[in-house]
Amino acid sequence: MARSASKPAPEAAKADWAETAEQQVLDAALKIVAHEGWTSRLAVMAGKSCGLSAGETELLLPHGAADLAALLSRRHDAAAMTALAKIDPKTLKIRERIARGVEARLNAADADEAAVRRLAGFLALPPNLTLGARLTWESADVLWRWAGDTATDENHYSKRALLAGILTGALAVRLSSGPAAALAFTDRRIENVMAFETWKRTTKFKPSKFLDEAAAAMGRIRYR
């Protein structure tokens, strides 16, 4: 007998349960992370408060605190997009789009300031540097897509790398010196980026061409 269209398939139901449970555990973690920190115990403690055993929590969040960090970062990305949905990026200059995007992302993180402060320390630890870079890249990608970026060449990567640097620095300034200082920092960094983009358009030096020529030269040396 065909399954009723109104009933989700078992796989979809499991996915829905997992997503709901993840958010519930994250909410529980945010209540204790200020004093517990992003430790190996955080996920277990948060899961327990949601009625999950240690084994169930491990199945849901196999990487523990790292998974919770990713969930929080993506929640903040989504909150920033909700705020930016009220703005038509086409009415803004590109530098204004980036400034508004960074501001929205910082405001989203500000809703969980205590957790974000502890998270910054967690992501600064050597084992977590890759995770921090990946999450910041994701945030930069979300903002650039909202801003209307459609680049598919090397500019796709350079834009996100530059914006990731701005986001990291702006968050650090916001946590240490407040919103006004963070916005001023963002404006200065955007000016730096715009100057760099102008240089790229006018310079005869092309990094991709340089790399191609270097590779060709190495090839000639290899087979002499």
pLDDT of the residue at 161: 92
Phi-psi region of 62 (alpha: psi -120 to 50; beta: other; left: phi over 0): alpha
* Higher per-residue confidence, 91 vs 210: 91
In this model, does residue 207 exceed pLDDT 70?
no
What percentage of the chain carries pLDDT values higher than 70? 80
What is the token pair recorded at 44? 């277990």
For 102, the token pair is: 């960074």
What is the model's pTM? 0.82
| Model confidence pLDDT, tens digit, residues 121-175 | 999 999 999 999 999 999 999 999 999 998 888 888 988 999 999 999 999 999 9
pLDDT in tens, 24-67: 999 999 999 999 999 989 999 999 999 999 999 999 999 999 99
Residue 26: CB atoms within 10 Å: 24
Which two tokens mark 173? 């300034």
Per-residue pLDDT tens over the stretch 64-106: 999 999 999 999 999 999 999 999 999 999 999 999 999 999 9
Q: Are 60 and 23 in contact (CB under 8 A)?
A: no
Residue-range domain boundaries for the chain: 11-62, 72-224
